[in-house]
Amino acid sequence: METIFARSSGSGRTAIAVWRISGPAAGEVVAKLAGSLPSARRASHRQIRDPLGGLLDDGIVLWFPGPNTATGEDLAEFHLHGSQAVATRFTETLTGLGLRPAEPGEFTLRALRYGRMGLLEAEGLGDLLDAETEQQRQQALGGYTGSAREVVAGWRDGLLAALAVLDAAVDFPDEEDVPAEIASRAVPALEKVSVSLKQELAKSAKGRRLREGLTLAIIGPPNAGKSTLLNRLVGEERAIVSDIPGTTRDVVSARLDIAGRLVEVLDTAGLRDETDDPIERAGMERSRAARERADIIIELSADGSREDPRLLRVTNKIDLGETAPEGTLGLSALTGEGWDEFLIALTGRIEATACPALFTHERQIALLQSGAAALDRVLDDPAQDPELLAEDVRSVIALLDQMTGRITVEDVLGAIFSRFCIGK
Question: Is residue 305 packed enough to be buried (19+ CB in 10 Å), middle (13-18) or exposed (0-12)?
Answer: exposed
Figure out which of the listed residues 225, 283, 338, 371 binds ligand GDP, where binding follows CB under 6 A. Answer: 225
Is 81 within 8 Å of 15 (Cβ atoms)?
Answer: yes
275 interacts with ligand GDP by CB under 6 A: no
**Segment 134 to 173, residues that bind ligand GDP, using CB under 6 A:** none
Q: Of the two residues 96 and 336, which places its CB atom closer to ligand GDP in the complex?
A: 336
242 interacts with ligand GDP by CB under 6 A: no
Q: Of the two residues 228 and 253, which places its CB atom closer to ligand GDP in the complex?
A: 228
The candidate with the shortest Cα–Cα distance to 186, out of 397, 401, 389, is: 389
228 interacts with ligand GDP by CB under 6 A: yes
Q: Which stretch binds ligand GDP (CB under 6 A): 311-319, 351-359, 378-386, 405-413?
A: 311-319
End-to-end CA distance of the chain: 18
Q: Return the ∠ at Cα 391 (arms to 177 and 154), rounded to 5°.
A: 105
Q: Of the two residues 150 and 236, which places its CB atom closer to ligand GDP in the complex?
A: 236
Rounded to the nearest 5°, which phi and psi values hold at 97? Answer: -90, 5
Is 227 marked within a binding site? yes
Q: Return the ∠ at Cα 408 (arms to 405 and 412), rounded to 5°.
A: 95
Is 247 marked within a binding site? yes
Q: Which stretch binds ligand GDP (CB under 6 A): 102-110, 120-128, 221-229, 388-396?
A: 221-229
222 interacts with ligand GDP by CB under 6 A: yes
336 interacts with ligand GDP by CB under 6 A: no
Q: Of the two residues 228 and 353, which places its CB atom closer to ligand GDP in the complex?
A: 228
Figure out which of the listed residues 226, 249, 291, 361 binds ligand GDP, where binding follows CB under 6 A. Answer: 226
Figure out which of the listed residues 313, 317, 349, 424 binds ligand GDP, where binding follows CB under 6 A. Answer: 317
227 interacts with ligand GDP by CB under 6 A: yes
88 interacts with ligand GDP by CB under 6 A: no
Q: Which stretch binds ligand GDP (CB under 6 A): 193-201, 220-228, 347-355, 409-417?
A: 220-228
Q: How far is the CB of 346 from ligand GDP (least distance, A)?
A: 16
Q: How far is the CB of 13 from ligand GDP (least distance, A)?
A: 41
Q: How far is the CB of 282 from ligand GDP (least distance, A)?
A: 16
Burial per residue of 150-173, b for 16 or more beta-carbon CB atoms within 10 angstroms, e otherwise: ebbeebbebbeebbebbbebbeee
Rounded to the nearest 5°, which phi and psi values hold at 188? Answer: -55, -45
DSSP string, 304-347: S----TTEEEEE--GGGTPPPPTTSEE--TTT-TTHHHHHHHHH
* CA distance to 105, 171, 223, 420, per residue, from 9 (Å): 13, 58, 47, 13
Figure out which of the listed residues 11, 47, 223, 275 binds ligand GDP, where binding follows CB under 6 A. Answer: 223
Figure out which of the listed residues 153, 239, 334, 421 binds ligand GDP, where binding follows CB under 6 A. Answer: 334
* CA distance to 143, 262, 325, per residue, from 134 (Å): 15, 9, 36
Q: Of the two residues 133 and 268, which places its CB atom closer to ligand GDP in the complex?
A: 268
Site string for ligand GDP, 178-217 (x = CB under 6 A): ----------------------------------------
270 interacts with ligand GDP by CB under 6 A: yes
Q: Going by DSSP bridges, is the β-strand pair 214-219/296-300 parallel, antiparallel, or unpaired?
A: parallel
Is 226 marked within a binding site? yes
Figure out which of the listed residues 103, 130, 319, 401 binds ligand GDP, where binding follows CB under 6 A. Answer: 319
Is 28 marked within a binding site? no
Q: For the chain, state the CA radius of gyration.
A: 29
Figure out which of the listed residues 320, 326, 340, 411 binds ligand GDP, where binding follows CB under 6 A. Answer: 320
Rounded to the nearest 5°, which phi and psi values hold at 96? Answer: -60, -25
Rounded to the nearest 5°, which phi and psi values hold at 164? Answer: -60, -40
Q: Where do runs of H (alpha helix) occur along 44-105?
A: 84-96
Gap between the Cα atoms of 260 and 266, Å rounded = 18
Gap between the Cα atoms of 397 and 154, Å rounded = 11
Is 107 within 8 Å of 423 (Cβ atoms)?
Answer: yes
* CA distance to 154, 296, 320, 345, per residue, from 214 (Å): 31, 8, 32, 16
316 interacts with ligand GDP by CB under 6 A: yes
Annotated binding site for K(+): 223, 242, 244, 247
Annotated binding site for GTP: 223-228, 242-248, 267-270
Binding site for ligand GDP (CB under 6 A): 220, 222-228, 270, 316-317, 319-320, 332-334
